[in-house]
Amino acid sequence: MTSIISKMVLTAGPRAMLARRSLQAAPIVASQAAHARRAFHQTQNLRQARIPSLPEFSLQDRVIVVSGAARGLGLTQAEALLEAGAVVHAIDRLPEPDKDSDFARVAKRATDELNSRLVYHRVDVREQAALGEIIGGIAEKEGGINGLIAAAGIQQETPALEYTAEDADRMLSVNVTGAFMTAQAVAREMVKRKQKGSLVMIASMSGTVANRGLICPAYNASKAAVIQLGRNLASEWGEHGIRVNTISPGYIVTAMTAGLFEAFPERRTSWPDANMLKRLSYPEEYRGAAVFLLSDASSFMTGADLRIDGGHCAW
């Protein structure tokens, strides 16, 4: 994997810092380059060092649920929320990550450095009853929930002529129904307690365009559905003070894409070439968007899609 990323970065001509970080990370997808990331953000002991400027970005004492937070984008965004002051409850279908995992590192950092908590709950977002029970339990224990990032998602590359109904249903049930039911469970707690809040669902630039050379008809349709779902939930729940927005990332270096680079090496260069910055993105590049959308900094923003794709869709 190291060679894949290194080659990809060298041929894509990225910003020097990201290139250095990539070249050092071995393997970057598995470890999320924990040390490099720490150096990148310089966020140790934030509680003591926090400067009281831009208070609208603070998530101090907010309770936020993040689905798909065992790893990847969800975990990286969860760490950003913790740094901004939130208590975070992670939900994911994977068994609780072990003590050597990135998740364990972030959970330890939350208690040791950030005076906060990262709590793990194992559940499949397709299991509506169990999901509702877990989210209800979080709200009960914490006295409410202030926000959500629904990042749990799956991907499958199969030509449309070969797609089975079973696979298409699975894609839509995780990416669309799963995100919908997670948002619904959190919104129900907010409405019940008359608490305002902010919900974010992770869509994709693939919800807006068909990717050249990446054949994912059901995935792309599912992400278009997430964007449209976001607008509809925003229109229904705005009267309760609940904002709903989506984030549409471009290609991110995570476990989800790592397998595709192994199967299709030419994508190491063709994907970066397809955007204006000529490189892939990293989960850390979506930290700011998460804090912005969950905090009062975006208080008048709802029903919107925040596309962060290196200009891929803007050609």
Ligand X SMILES: NC(=O)c1ccc[n+]([C@@H]2O[C@H](COP(=O)([O-])OP(=O)(O)OC[C@H]3O[C@@H](n4cnc5c(N)ncnc54)[C@H](O)[C@@H]3O)[C@@H](O)[C@H]2O)c1
**Residues noted as catalytic:** 219, 223
Q: 175-184 b/e with 16+ CB inside 10 Å = b?
A: bbbbbbbbbb
**CA nearest 242: which of 193, 210, 195, 291?**
195
Task: Indicate the helix (H) or strand (E) that contains 135.
Answer: helix 128-142
Task: Indicate the helix (H) or strand (E) that contains 256.
Answer: helix 255-263
Instruction: Please give the torsion angle defined by the CA atoms of residues 64, 70, 75 and 81, in that order, rounded to the nearest 10 degrees.
Output: 20
Query: From CA 182, how far away is CA 126, in angstroms rounded?
Result: 9
Q: How far is the CB of 47 from ligand X (least distance, A)?
A: 27
Query: From CA 87, how far away is CA 64, in angstroms rounded?
Result: 6
Interface with ligand X (CB under 6 A), residue from 2, 11, 26, 124: 124
Stretch that binds ligand X, among 2-10, 164-172, 254-262, 297-305 (CB under 6 A): 254-262
Distance between alpha carbon 42 and the CA centroid of its chain, in Å? 21
Q: How far is the CB of 299 from ligand X (least distance, A)?
A: 25
Based on the shown chain and the rule CB under 6 A, indicate whether residue 31 belongs to the binding site for ligand X: no
State in Å, rounded, how far the first CA of the chain is from the last one.
Answer: 30
SS3 80: helix
Q: How far is the CB of 179 from ligand X (least distance, A)?
A: 8
Compose the 257-286 pattern: x for residues touching ligand X by CB under 6 A, - for all others: x-----------------------------
Distance between alpha carbon 271 and the CA centroid of its chain, in Å? 20
Using CB under 6 A, count the residues that bind ligand X: 29
Stretch that binds ligand X, among 3-11, 150-158, 161-169, 269-277 (CB under 6 A): 150-158
Interface with ligand X (CB under 6 A), residue from 7, 41, 93, 231: 93
* 27 preceded by a cis bond (ω within 30 of 0): yes
Q: How far is the CB of 301 from ligand X (least distance, A)?
A: 20
Interface with ligand X (CB under 6 A), residue from 14, 74, 85, 272: 74
Based on the shown chain and the rule CB under 6 A, indicate whether residue 37 belongs to the binding site for ligand X: no
Stretch that binds ligand X, among 34-42, 118-126, 234-242, 291-299 (CB under 6 A): 118-126
Based on the shown chain and the rule CB under 6 A, indicate whether residue 151 belongs to the binding site for ligand X: yes
Stretch that binds ligand X, among 9-17, 88-96, 264-272, 298-306 (CB under 6 A): 88-96
Chain residues that interact with ligand X, rule: CB under 6 A: 67-68, 70-74, 92-94, 124-126, 151-155, 174, 178, 202, 204, 249, 251-252, 254-257
